[in-house]
Each structure stands twice: as structure tokens, then as C-alpha cells.
Amino acid sequence: MEFRASYHGFVDSFEWHFGETGGSSLPFLATSIVGYLTVIFTLQLLLRQRKTAVPLGNLPAIHNLILCLGSLIMFLGALEATISSQLLWLRQGSSKSTYLTAETGYRWLLCFPEDTLPRGRIFFWSYIYYLSKFYELLDTVILVLKKKPLSFLHVYHHSLVVVMCWLWLQYSQSLQTIGLLTNTGIHVIMYWYYFMHSIGHPPPWRKFVTNGQIVQFLFSFTVSIPFVYLHVKESCAGFYAWLYNASFNFTLLLLFFNFHRRQYSSRTKVAKNAD
């Protein structure tokens, strides 16, 4: 009970302040993206003449396990925050200090009121998720050191997902709770697959990982329909941030569909020809 009270006190006190919270400034965001692209393309140039991959030992396995467990922690943290915040706000009723009332029920999952401030439990876990995206950039460095080809999808996603997460916090974007839960959930599965693959025991459900990511994007568009309706009706927080989020997800969906077609359709054709 004491730990739970301390934990809730810590996450409830979180507040995102532009230019003050770590990683919240625009120069930091821009420098991080430019730095990421500079590092990976410089590494590729330096390794161009090298015929073999750089030996990394257990680093890829450890990296993927960290991301798998980290995604699980973020998922459970966001889930606990969602459930406990729902119960707390329902007890508080129509207090103006909250964005959930007994009348709105679970509607806050789709629409934060326009004056919602980025503070409290959900935003704490959105912030941790934002920071985790910088650690995920190591994915690309490992691929380059292993002399694996970099797809446009991979670099594009890692470069711009940090902007999406920054907008979640800066503009208290509605729908971020659902995005946080679905993305961390699928990442638990994805990075577990990568971990098992990196130790030489790849599970037979690689296609399931890709399909899960596609379903995630399709679901994000599904929940956007009631969000837009609520925004027109009563104004929801972070509408313009959502426009970026929706556009980004749409381009990712197209790229994932293309990846799925190239990756699995070609395999099916090879299998048929072999028969």
C-alpha cells in the first residue's frame, strides 16, 4: 500500500512544460532527428568498404529484450493509469479539475476536453513512451553495424514517430491513451519475436507481427471516426496534432501494406513454384 501510494503520488505529480521538461524543446527534437539521420548514414559510409558485419555479441538480444520488457512495463503502467484514473474521476464527478465526469464515462478515451493540461498519470506514461523512442533509435544503429539493408519504412518511422509523441504531450492530444495501449501492446509481441530471433530461435509467427501492426493502424482510423464527431460537437484537445498523427499513420499503413505484399506474396509464389 505504501509503495502504491508513493507511486501514485509520483506519477500524479508529473507535468509537461514546454522547454522545461527534459526533451520538450523544439531544438532538442530537431537536433535529435538530424543527429539520428547523420549518424546512421555516416556509419553506412564508413562501413561501405567492410565486407563483414561488426561483431556485436549479445547486444542485439539484450537490446530487444530491454525493449520488450520496457514495452510491457509501459503497457501495464498505462493500463493501470487508465483504470485507476477512470475510477478516481468518476468518484470526483463533475469537478472542473478533471476531464472525466460521471456523465462522460469512457468518452475521455476518445476526446480530452479542449482545456486539458498535460499532467497526471496518462501523460506520465506518454512521456516515458516518448523517451523510449529515442532509445529505439539504437535499432537502426544495430542494423547498420550488422550490414543489413535499411528500408525507407524503418528510417521514416523512427525519424518521425518522436514528433508524434512530442505532439501528444505538447497539445494534450486526444486518443493518445488508446494509441499508447495499442502500440506498447503490439511492441511487446514484436520485440519478443526479435529477441527470440536474435538468439537463434525465431518463432513461426513473423507474419502475425506484421499483421498486428497493420491492424493497429486500421484500429486507429476506426476510433478516429467518433473522435472527429465529438470534436465537431464539443471540441477536443489536440485536433491539429491528431491531423499529423492520422497522416503519419496513413503513410505507415501504406508502407506496411507494401512490405506485406513484397514479403509474403513473393514467398507464396516461390512455394507454389516449388510445388
> CA 219, 248, 256 angle in degrees (round to 5)?
65
Nearest C-alpha neighbor of 120 from the set 15, 17, 23: 15
CA distance 40 to 188: 25
> Active site residue: 157, 158, 187, 231, which one?
157
Active-site residue 157, yes or no?
Answer: yes
| Cell numbers that stand for 89 in this block | 474521476
| Cell numbers that stand for 205 in this block | 509467427
Roughly how many angstroms between the first and final C-alpha of the chain, as a whole number?
A: 62
CA distance 137 to 125: 19
- For residue 113, the 8-state DSSP code is B
Residue 34 CB burial class (10 angstroms; 0-12, 13-18, ≥19):
exposed
CA distance 77 to 74: 5
The residues annotated as belonging to the active site are: 157
